[in-house]
Amino acid sequence: MALHAVSPAAASSSPLRALSRRLPQRPGCGCLAKPSTLIWSSTNFTTLQSATVDFVSWPLVLRHSHKRAVLTHATIEEIEAEKSVIEEQAKEKMEKAIETVQSNFNTVRTGRANPAMLDRIEVEYYGTPVNLKSIAQISTPDATSLLIQPYDKSSLKLIEKTIVAANLGVSTSNDGEVIRATVPPLTSDRRKELAKTVAKLAEEGKVAIRNIRRDAIKAYDKLQKEKKLSEDNVKDLSADLQKVTDEYMKKIEAIQKQKEQELMKI
């Protein structure tokens, strides 16, 4: 970037006087005290007309020193650093959204017994809602059964009642020691209903991904308002973020397809 010192005579011209009046001064820094110390960039300076200054390329920043005020722009390194922070945060949140979708899919039963079917079951244990897995051991003795063994036998009936109320499509019984949940074969109609449930859960995940992208774009817009990024910077960074968003959308579609295939297996 070429830098030029402006002579006192040139600095006294109407446009440059207007610029010197518009540049903010830090109290006591002495910037712009002498016309000959005003520095401007030929690569970023476009026009000075009617006291209006237009700049191209990246945002310009006024840096103060004890002798002069210098106009500089955000470096590529600074822009990459801002992008890295915001994009990494977005990716981290998107990963958690994928994990949530997968966890929700696990609660949708297929034709086989799976302890994950009970992941979202919460029991009112002594007045406090607690996850079933924290108060009972769950196992699968065969492909169509779940065994739930409470650590506290006095909670057995309460646990069984909670499982029935969850409407998981299983039948339960207990022998005073453990609860047996039998998973009946899925009918064709039930499979279709569960496929709709999976599609709904997948869409909820996609909405979460879009919201994360929206928040990241807002972060870029905030940096633009603070003059740390230009409009073109924001457009480029938003395009990169869209590519990341598309990747996570495809991940949701992939695990949705896998779950639907599981549902359709006889």
- State pLDDT tens for residues 122-179: 999 988 999 999 999 999 998 889 999 999 999 999 999 999 998 888 899 999 999 9
Q: How far is CA 146 from the centre of its chain?
A: 36
CA dist 169 → 88, 123, 264 (Å) = 41, 18, 16
Query: Which pLDDT does position 54 carry in this prediction?
Result: 40
Query: Which pLDDT does position 266 carry in this prediction?
Result: 57
User: Taking each helix axis from N to C terminus, what angle separates 76-106 and 231-264, rounded to the nearest 10 degrees?
Assistant: 20
Query: Which pLDDT does position 74 carry in this prediction?
Result: 63
Q: What are the mean pLDDT values of the chain's consecutive 10-residue runs (266 residues total)?
A: 44 44 46 40 38 40 45 68 89 96 87 85 92 94 92 94 89 93 86 91 97 95 88 91 96 95 80
Number of Cα atoms under 13 Å in the Cβ half of residue 175: 7
Query: Which pLDDT does position 2 carry in this prediction?
Result: 43
User: Residues with Cβ < 8 Å from 90, sequence gap 6 or more?
Assistant: 212, 213, 215, 216, 241, 244
Query: Which pLDDT does position 219 carry in this prediction?
Result: 93
Burial status of residue 90 (CB atoms within 10 A of its CB: 0-12, 13-18, 19 or more): buried
User: Taking each helix axis from N to C terminus, what angle separates 188-225 and 76-106, rounded to the nearest 10 degrees?
Assistant: 160
**What is the DSSP secondary structure assignment for residue 178, as one 8-state letter?**
-
CA distance 107 to 104: 5
CA torsion angle 225 226 228 229 (round to 10): 0
Strand (E) or helix (H) holding 146: strand 145-150
Total residues belonging to the chain: 266
Amino acid at 29: C
